[in-house]
Amino acid sequence: MTAVGEIVELEIPPTLEYLDLARVVVSAAASVDPGFPPSRVSDLRLAVSELCANAIESQQRRERVEPLVIRCVLSDDRVTIEIEDHGGGFDPEALAPLPPATDPTRLERERGLGIPLVRALADDVEFLVKDEGTTVRVVLFHPHPD
Amino acid sequence: MSRYEEVAVEVRDGWRVLRLAGEVDVATAPRLRDRLVQLINEGPPQVVVDLSGITFIDSMGLGALISGLKRARALDGDLRLVGATDHVAKVLAITRLDQAFMVSDTVEAALAGSPG
């Protein structure tokens, strides 16, 4: 039986050394849900890691030392993650789309792959930018049974 | 947790085969980037990266591989990938990097220049 509505919350200091801890905790929390298969846990783990890395970098630019709050909510049909930071936020819509693989400039893009990856891996991504920081909400639905 | 590590470097048919394990993320990607550039600059600029022990790679890890590929091709060499797990293969496909790199199942196929 899925632990519907259960929330796991984690606070980490805004340094990259804690990224793997965030990945481990979120993966373990999502793995409790029998409707959420290992392949989706892998997707979730990568999405959370990318978003936490962005949040940490954003806070470091602002020299903010408050912890990041990472919340994992298991529901009937989905896993929802919220990541709250105290960084300056950014406009995800302003990111240039990835050029096609055949474009010779494609390999100039060593950075900027993170948010396109998150959007591809997650079913829904929402950025709530406020003065005090940014909250990102990511939803991954359970796969439909075949 | 499985930390990033370099398991071995073998020389085969004039190529260096770099076998990795663990997790490549924003914290560990600079080590991979530096290692690839070092191997390529030493020459010959032909490197196969064996990803079969890699359990996690993020966008910065991909950036390190891209950095190596660009450096190798600038020197008329190449950087090829083998042994991607299902999830790593999915990430390469989403970012379309599976079309930028030659991605093979085995080291033998990579050395022979055979994708798939």
Token pair listed for A30: 């999502």
Q: Which of A107, A108, A119, A121 to mutate to test the interface with B (most CBs of B within 10 A)?
A: A107
pLDDT of residue B83: 96
Average pLDDT over residues B9-23: 95
The pLDDT score that the predictor gives to residue A1 is: 38
**Distance (Å, rounded) from C-alpha A115 to C-alpha B3?**
24
**Domains of chain B with bracketed CATH:** 5-109 (3.30.750.24)
Q: ipTM of the assembly?
A: 0.91
Residue B14 CA to its chain's centroid (Å)? 16
- pLDDT averaged over 10-residue windows placed end to end, chain A, 146 residues: 72 94 95 93 97 93 93 95 87 61 58 89 94 93 84
Q: Do B56 and A24 touch (CB under 8 A)?
A: no
Angle between helices A114-121 and B86-94 (to 10 degrees): 110
Q: Average pLDDT, stretch B4-17?
A: 94
Residue B20 has pLDDT above 80, yes or no: yes
Any bridge partners for residue A127, and if so which? A136
Cβ distance of B1 and A106 shorter than 8 Å:
no
Rounded to the nearest angstrom, the minimum Cα separation between B22 and chain A is: 11
Domain boundaries, chain A: 7-141
pLDDT at B63 over 90: yes
CA A146 to chain centre: 27
Report the alpha-carbon angle B20-B8-B76, nearest 5: 80
| CB–CB contact A17 B27 (8 Å) | yes
- Better-scored residue on pLDDT, B116 or A39: A39
Of A16, A101, A109, the CB nearest to B27: A16
A·B CB contacts under 8 A: 75
Q: What is the DSSP string of A11-44?
A: EE-SSGGGHHHHHHHHHHHHHT-TTS-HHHHHHH
Has domain A7-141 been given CATH number 2.40.30.10? no
In A6-92 the beta strands, taken as DSSP E runs, fall at 7-12, 68-74, 78-84
Q: Is B78 left (phi over 0), alpha (psi -120 to 50) or beta?
A: beta
B60 — pLDDT class (breaks 50, 70, 90): very high
pTM, 2 dp: 0.89
